[in-house]
Structure 1
Amino acid sequence: MGTDRSRTDRPRDGLARTIGRVALGGFLAFAGTSHLTFAREEFQAQVPSWVPVDTDLVVVGSGVVEIALGAALVAAPARYRPWVGAAAAAFFVAVFPGNVAQYVEGNDGFGLDTDAKRLARLPFQGALVLWALWSTGAWRAWRSQRVRAVTGSRGVRK
């Protein structure tokens, strides 16, 4: 994920990755905007009861972060996209306890009004992590960096 790669060594964005990255960015920007406006109360249902911060502050803060990540996914130059993808994936991991708390505490929100629906939703967070890593080339950049670390710059195993 380093930024020291030459132009020819940068991962190329295929059309599918570009569409995936822009779509994820749009999704995040929309979700972040909804945190601040029409779905604010729904998002409050996802804040775990054990979080020692005002629920509304958590919702507003996470909304601002989502808008920033969404904009970065759409607009970041290619050489920074792996970093943005890693940050988006980390964000999805960081908010996962809220999804688990919504299930464990039985909080309704976004039509998730049964334990079965709340439980069925949990695996989708992993899909978001994978989507962020794939669409930005973060996974590929991490793997190529590890290969360079093991083999050295000449491709010969150290």
Structure 2
Amino acid sequence: MDKGGRIDKQALGLAGLLATTGLLHFATPGPFDMIVPRQLPGSPRTWTYLSGAAELAVAAAVAVPRTRRLGGLAAAALFVAVFPANVKMAVDWRHASPARRAIAYGRLPLQLPLIAWARRVAR
């Protein structure tokens, strides 16, 4: 709920999206491992789990009115931070089927509305 006692659907929607993707990092880590940029030190699985944990923590922060502003800002930063993984996916899938290319290329511009959504929630 917001300060006026109303449920903030924007915040709960963002928290739900982040929680779902965060849980997927643990339930099915393989696809996330494949898009971890090779330049990052350590194992891709470690980065998959770390990013999943970050998404879950940010989801919790967004869901709680008292921490929503910080959570929204953290969500925006998280969406920026995972952009290199989306670029890697687009590069890796550039010769894939048209459907897979559409998914990979579609994720790139999708980051902008996600960042805007997170910033709106932070206000």
What TM-score results when the alignment is normalised by the length of structure 1? Answer: 0.67
2:114 alignment counterpart: 128
Q: 1:130 to 1:13 in 2, by over 3 A?
A: farther
RMSD of aligned residue pairs (Cα, Å): 2.4
Runs of 4+ in 1 over 4 A off after TM superposition: 11-16
Higher helix share: 2
Q: Which runs of 5+ in 1 are unaligned?
A: 1-10, 138-158
- Structure of greater relative contact order (alpha carbons < 8 Å, 6+ residues apart): 1
Q: Which runs of 5+ in 2 are unaligned?
A: none
Cα shift at 1:27: 1.1
Alpha-carbon separation, structure 1, partners of 2:31 and 2:90? 14
Structure showing greater Rg: 1
1:5-154 equivalences in 2 (<5 Å): 18-37=8-27, 39-77=28-66, 80-106=67-93, 113-114=100-101, 116-137=102-123
Alpha-carbon separation, structure 1, partners of 2:70 and 2:59? 13
Alpha-carbon separation, structure 2, partners of 1:15 and 1:131? 19
Count of matched residue pairs:
119
CA displacement 1:111-152 (0-9 Å, x = unmatched) = x622x4311221111111111110231xxxxxxxxxxxxxxx
